[in-house]
Amino acid sequence: MGLLDRISMLVRSNLNDLLDRAEDPEKALDQIIRDMADAIGKAKSQVAETIAQKNLVESNLNQARKLSNEWGGKAQLAVNKGADDLAREALRRKRDYDSNAHVYESQLATQIEVTDKLKADLQALQSKYEGVVRNREVLIARHRTAKAQAMVHKTAAALSGIDPSSELSRMEEKIRVEEARAAAHAELSENTMDRRIAELEADPDVESELAALKAAASPPAALPEGREGREGRRT
């Protein structure tokens, strides 16, 4: 397979598929662009060599035609001079150059056809390469979009087996349990506070009885000195 054929296969390859199989699509695409540029550079050298060969064949053809004409003229001169033996030798050489010219003509026609085709192929490849370079960001964006779509489909498939209502019910039940626990803690705190406040509150009846007991148990208050003397004289 020729170099241009290999380049054509590279350009015709599905770039999206190459990117999908690459770990880093951007690096992969940049590598593809570098490979294409290198291959096209080599192809240009090959086409240039083909053109050089065509030019060489064309030069050989022109030289053969020139020599044929020269020996034809020499043959005519020999005939004019009556030198038939020289004329015969000149004609033989003219015939050889004519034969070479026919070969070169055939080679040149083939070489021109090949060269024109290679030049056209190279131009097409160059255009495709330039298109890949221009569309680099578009290709990467398409690849990213494709991966995102694949991820969405994969996630949707995974969620399809989950019952949302069941999950919501389980979550609601969990919240209710937490609410019940919080209410229980609040109730315990409230009862404790009420009990402490009740303990601090006094029973009026009990307080009255306590005051009476305290009064009975206390000694009578001492009378003032002057008053006590007067009371004794009365008695």
pLDDT tens readout for residues 107-164 = 999 999 999 998 888 888 888 888 888 888 887 787 778 778 878 877 777 666 655 5
Reported as a pLDDT band with limits 50, 70 and 90, residue 38 is confident
Q: Has this prediction a pTM greater than 0.75?
A: no
CA 138, 139, 144, 150 torsion-angle sign: positive
In this prediction, residues 225-233 reach a mean pLDDT of 53
Look at residues 40, 5, 63 and name the one whose alpha carbon lies nearest to residue 123. 40
What would the two tokens of residue 59 be?
Answer: 């030069």
pLDDT over threshold 80, residue 176:
yes
Between 125 and 54, the higher pLDDT residue: 54
Are residues 109 and 141 both part of a single domain?
yes
How far apart (Å, rounded) are the C-alpha atoms in residues 4 and 125?
Answer: 9
Output the pLDDT for position 72: 95
> Is residue 209 in some structural domain?
no
> Is residue 217 in some structural domain?
no
> Is residue 91 in some structural domain?
yes
The half-sphere exposure of 59 on its side-chain side, counting CA atoms within 13 A, is 6
Output the pLDDT for position 35: 84
Residues of the domain holding 178:
166-201
Element (H, E) at 67: helix 25-80
> Is residue 221 in some structural domain?
no
Query: Count of domains in the chain?
Result: 2
What would the two tokens of residue 83 be?
Answer: 């030198």
Output the pLDDT for position 1: 47
Residue bearing tokens 């001169």: 77
Output the pLDDT for position 94: 95
What would the two tokens of residue 103 be?
Answer: 């070969």
Are residues 108 and 184 both part of a single domain?
no
Are residues 37 and 114 both part of a single domain?
yes
Are residues 92 and 26 both part of a single domain?
yes
Output the pLDDT for position 180: 83
Are residues 35 and 145 both part of a single domain?
yes
Are residues 119 and 178 both part of a single domain?
no
